[in-house]
Structure 1
Amino acid sequence: MCSHYQTLKNRAKFEKEFRVKLPPYEGVYDVWPTYQALFVRRPREADAGDEAVPDREAMAGVFGLIPAWAKDDKFARRTFNARSETAASLPSFRDAWRKGHKCIIPADAIYEPDWRSGKAVATRIVRSDGGAMGLAGLWSGWKSPAGEWVLSFTMLTINADEHPLMRNFHKPGDEKRMVVILPDGCHDDWLTAPAERSMDFMRQFPAERMTAST
């Protein structure tokens, strides 16, 4: 599970790599569950045929998906990752999955604990080519008891037991998991694909294109 990542600090790089215009938002660089950060989605009006509507938009949301039926925003503490194998059936994620509420989570780096020394060592993982990571996610909207509309998002994960790099993380005996890093050329495909094709994108990013450091 990935509970800590670094979003893109460079606004120009963010806008260029993900083809969005950023809102006047100053969020944190190091993101943990319940923190606010920017994610990229397809605008709700994108299919209306209005040429003034962009293909993508950047939105501020809570890291940790809050389903519409949640009683409070503390729900985000345990929904920052969604297992792709069960996202379509678990109550926390199934509405976002069924409605095709896909998003991309831009990141400079992700962090995972390396337990091979006997204790957790926080390890920073980046793309070897220095490019931005576009992580596959789901988003949702939630109306708070105070009447405030809150957006939130989660990262989709897949099994990594056999991944040459990501199998080294998390506690011994635990299933190894990794977030889905989308290839640069399929961002639009991910955002526009119908729900029944979502699993087609749940693939491991090549280990040789990733670098880990402590």
Structure 2
Amino acid sequence: MTHIKHAPAGAPETRYHTPMCANYTPTRLDAISQHHGLEHALFNFPAEAFPGYLAPIIRESREVTGAIECVPAMFGMVPHWADTKLARQTYNARTETVATKPSFRNAWKRNQFCIVPADNFFEPCYETGKPVRWRISAAEGTPLGIAGIWEWRAAGPDGLPLLSFSMLTINADGHPLMDRFHKPGDEKRMLVLLEPQQYQGWLEGALVNEEEVYRPWDAEKLVAVADPMPPRGKAKEAAPALF
């Protein structure tokens, strides 16, 4: 089981200087249980996740063959050889290099795949000349299932086991929606969003080489609205595990 200290709710100073998704809203545990048909897990995590924060992931059970489980993990992959500060750089994994990058290749080769349940994710829009946080979610209002990979290490900074994860991203240059985010001229990236019928195959590793998995979602399947960061001192409190 993962044991890490909860980070205080709020955004790090570098939140608008990162090339991909560094901030999202984890789906509540009761909604995860209902959407994925899982037993209701019990653990706490912040209402919004940033690199280094605790959040729920879904993976194949380590104890029951053929079953899946919802467990807490740190946002930002930290291999056994790395300092936990690496999480600030490994919260996203590019699909083009995930199989070869030292931070990710072990998890990829071992088929350590997971789904990151999210109500939405945030990206900076510069259309006003300054970065304004926008919230992106499924148009149908259902939780998103983000493709991810996970890693386990026997001892984290507190000497206890640590589970961590990264979200996969793909190129999104020219995408009608994602083209609006990040600085003009920057490469546009998008999270790998899974369809519900792909969940099981992804966790089993059966869809790793399927091109369909790595196609950006159509803009019509997503909705985006401005959602500026709350002033400092008014950040959202940590979300309880049970609602």
Q: Do the two structures share a fold, i.e. TM-score over 0.5?
A: yes
CA RMSD of aligned residues (A): 1.6
Provide the residue aligned with 1:176 in structure 2: 188
Provide the residue aligned with 2:115 in structure 1: 104
TM-score (norm 1): 0.91
Aligned pairs, number:
206
Q: 2:58 aligns with which of 40, 43, 53?
A: 40
Q: Answer yes or no: is the 8 Å Cα contact 1:181–1:205 preserved in 2.
A: yes
TM-score (norm 2): 0.80
The amino acid of 1:137's aligned partner reads: G
- Structure 2, gaps ≥5 residues long: 1-19, 227-243
- More deviation, 26-35/199-208: 199-208
Q: 1:91 & 1:198 partners in 2: Cα distance?
A: 23
Q: Answer yes or no: is the 8 Å Cα contact 1:98–1:195 preserved in 2.
A: no
- Structure 1, gaps ≥5 residues long: 48-53
Provide the residue aligned with 1:23 in structure 2: 41
Provide the residue aligned with 1:51 in structure 2: none
Cα distance change of structure 1 residues 198 and 139 upon mapping to structure 2, 3 Å threshold = farther
- Shift of the alpha carbon at 1:120? 0.6
Corresponding residue SS for 1:39: strand
Q: Answer yes or no: is the 8 Å Cα contact 1:37–1:63 preserved in 2.
A: yes
Q: 1:145 & 1:41 partners in 2: Cα distance?
A: 23
The amino acid of 1:140's aligned partner reads: E
Q: Answer yes or no: is the 8 Å Cα contact 2:84–2:157 preserved in 1.
A: no
Q: 1:146 & 1:124 partners in 2: Cα distance?
A: 34
Detail structure 1 runs of 4+ shifted over 6 Å in the superposition: none
Q: Answer yes or no: is the 8 Å Cα contact 1:34–1:63 preserved in 2.
A: yes
Q: Answer yes or no: is the 8 Å Cα contact 1:100–1:194 preserved in 2.
A: no
Provide the residue aligned with 2:232 in structure 1: none
- 1:35-73 CA distance string (max 9 Å, x none): 0011000113444xxxxxx62101101000011221x21
Q: Is residue 24 of structure 2 the alignment partner of residue 5 of structure 1?
A: yes
1:11-160 correspondence runs (5 A):
11-47=29-65, 55-70=67-82, 72-142=83-153, 143-144=155-156, 146-160=158-172
Q: 1:156 & 1:131 partners in 2: Cα distance?
A: 20
Cα distance change of structure 1 residues 133 and 153 upon mapping to structure 2, 3 Å threshold = same
Q: Answer yes or no: is the 8 Å Cα contact 2:61–2:69 preserved in 1.
A: yes
- Higher helix fraction (1 or 2): 1
Q: Answer yes or no: is the 8 Å Cα contact 1:106–1:133 preserved in 2.
A: yes
**Higher relative contact order, chain-length normalized (CA < 8 Å, sep 6+):** 2
The amino acid of 2:39's aligned partner reads: K
Provide the residue aligned with 2:215 in structure 1: 203
Q: Among all aligned residue pairs of Structure 1 and Structure 2, give the percentage whose two residues are the same amino acid.
A: 40
Q: 1:41 & 1:124 partners in 2: Cα distance?
A: 26
